[in-house]
Amino acid sequence: MAALARWCFQRRRWVLVAWLALMVILGVGGRAAGTAYSNNVTLPGTGSTTALTLLEKAFPGHAGDQDTIVWRASGGVRDPAVRARITAMLGQVAAAPAVASVISPYSARGAAQVSRDGQIAYATVVFDAPEASLPVADVTRVIDLAEAARAPGVQVETGGPAVENALQPSFGLSAAVGIVGAAVVLFIAFGSLLSMLLPLAVAIAALASGLMTVGLLSHGVNIPSVGPTLGILIGLGVGIDYALFIVTRHRNNLKDGMPPREAAVLALNTSGRAVLFAGTTVCIALIGMLVLRISYISGLGIAAAVTVLFTVAAAATLLDAALA
């Protein structure tokens, strides 16, 4: 670790350029290739999987996800104007891509889908595929059509697994909140703007590189869409933590009168070893999820492990160059 620290300290500009180039390459590659996250959950040998397979073969039009469109009308859902408005909307939804059928409460089949007071009713939207296989754009189209039927006195809402997946908020917001919170804590602990920024900058660089790598890996490995979120939660925590170990040791070495270079080398040779051991342990634990042989869970473990791997690499190289 001491040799690595000296090399990164002496060639700090090359290290910074290398990390910047890596992020640019990953960013360009990710933008060109996109992502292929998959929420398919397969449990081989279970009764539910067997039942779903039989349902897809015998009744393909009913094997898809079922979501609901709910509306409430102050004048009653059977009001002619409300009925005409909702019926027209349900007709558009039935003709939308990925929709197999719509069960309306205004039909004999769905007559029970109206509340006793006649104020609330719902329609069942049957998609032609499970939620994990539905294009988000098709589900969003259904949501937009349903919400377009809103009017004064008529409230329309949508719900269900496919709708929830389509409306899933961006993980960028959660990352921003976590970074701001960490910045406040670090500033209070260090009382120094520079000491606060170093762990954050290194953690953000590692997190960005890791997430872009996970996006590229999704083309070859079954990684669920929640994988990046898990990577953010774990990567941001350990990334700041690992960098904090080394920065704290470096500051203490400087206070003891050591030259900056030797202070950084000793920090990486001591706290850096702890970071390497801790990061390796976390990666092994996450990769251990592969033992379950459930693709969904395995993908989560891979996504988090890749992010942690980048945080360790950044703490061992990028942070040393930044200290220099």
Taking only the tens place, the pLDDT of each residue in 179-189 is 788 788 878 87
The mean of the pLDDT values for the chain is 85
- Residue 224 pLDDT class (50, 70, 90 cuts): confident
Cβ pair 133, 40 in contact under 8 A: yes
pLDDT tens for 188-201 read 877 778 878 888 88
Measure CA 169 to chain center: 9
pLDDT at 248: 86
pLDDT at 53 exceeding the cut of 80? no
Per cent of the chain over pLDDT 70 is: 89
Residue 124 is predicted with a pLDDT of 93
**For 89-143, what is each residue's pLDDT tens digit?**
999 999 999 898 899 999 988 889 999 999 999 999 988 877 767 788 889 999 9
Q: What is the pLDDT of residue 100?
A: 87
List the chain domain ranges. Answer: 2-34+169-323, 59-166
Reported as a single tens digit per residue, the pLDDT across 281-298 is 999 999 998 888 888 888
CA separation for the pair 230, 178 (Å, rounded): 13
The pTM assigned to this predicted structure is 0.72
Q: Write down the CATH number for the domain with range 2-34+169-323.
A: 1.20.1640.10
Q: Which residue has the tokens 């027209």?
A: 88
DSSP assignment of 141-207, as one string? HHHHHHHTT-BTTEEEEEESHHHHHHTPPPHHHHHHHHHHHHHHHHHHHH--HHHHHHHHHHHHHHH
Please give the CATH superfamily to which domain 59-166 belongs: Multidrug efflux transporter AcrB pore domain like (3.30.70.1320)
Task: Give the residue, 39 or 18, on which the prediction is more confident.
Answer: 18
Mean pLDDT of the 318-322 span: 87
Segment 166-184 mean pLDDT: 74
* Pairing relationship of beta strands 66-73 and 120-127 according to DSSP bridges: antiparallel
Using the predicted structure, report yes or no on whether residue 59 has a pLDDT greater than 80: no
Give the 3-state secondary structure of 67-128: EEEEEEECCCCCCHHHHHHHHHHHHHHHCCCCEEEEECCCCCCCCCCECCCCCEEEEEEEEC
User: How far is C-alpha 201 from the chain's CA centre?
Assistant: 21
